[in-house]
């Protein structure tokens, strides 16, 4: 049996917190942040918003404040996950047109489907 890893510091990012350190995570932040917070000896939580005590519904708190040692309210939360890409004219050198890309993509998909169909034998599929 392997022993659990215990870090000296755990840094987590939460959506909301109250002054007691009770945290509410937003969307996929619930996946690993609570586990990481429980694994560290000293936990620092950065939150977008600190709300008054009693504002958070006790049934919606994802991590109780007992695990949190320091609470920091961050600034300017802007996720830059998406990137703007622009399609250039088909007349440009080295750029294929959107129509050609779609045709090539359809040909590749059809070739994959045909190859997968060859793998099936009678009685291998069910309803």
pLDDT in tens, 2-29: 887 778 999 999 999 999 999 999 888 8
The pLDDT tens digits of the residues spanning 65-109 come to 999 999 999 887 666 666 666 666 555 444 555 667 788 888 888
Note the pLDDT of residue 81.
64
- Whether residue 43 is contained in a domain is answered as yes
Note the pLDDT of residue 51.
96
- Whether residue 22 is contained in a domain is answered as yes
- Whether residue 64 is contained in a domain is answered as yes
Domain span holding position 65:
7-73
- Whether residue 35 is contained in a domain is answered as yes
Both structure tokens of 21: 């350190």
The pLDDT tens digits of the residues spanning 53-65 come to 999 999 999 999 9
Note the pLDDT of residue 84.
66
Residue 62 neighbours by CB under 8 Å, 6+ apart: 14, 23, 24, 25, 30, 33, 34
- Whether residue 48 is contained in a domain is answered as yes
- Whether residue 87 is contained in a domain is answered as no
- Tell me how many domains the chain contains: 1
């Amino acid at each position: 049996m392997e022993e659990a890893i215990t870090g000296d510091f755990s840094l987590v990012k939460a959506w909301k917190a109250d002054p007691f350190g009770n945290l509410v995570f937003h969307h996929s932040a619930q996946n690993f942040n609570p586990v990481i917070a429980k694994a560290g000896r000293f936990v620092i939580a950065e939150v977008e918003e600190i709300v008054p005590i009693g504002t958070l519904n006790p049934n919606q708190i994802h991590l109780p404040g007992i695990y949190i040692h320091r609470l920091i309210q961050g600034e300017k939360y802007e996720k830059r996950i998406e990137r703007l890409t622009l399609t250039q004219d088909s007349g440009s050198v080295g750029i294929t047109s959107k129509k050609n890309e779609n045709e090539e993509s359809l040909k590749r998909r059809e070739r994959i489907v045909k190859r997968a169909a060859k793998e099936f034998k009678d009685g291998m599929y069910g309803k």
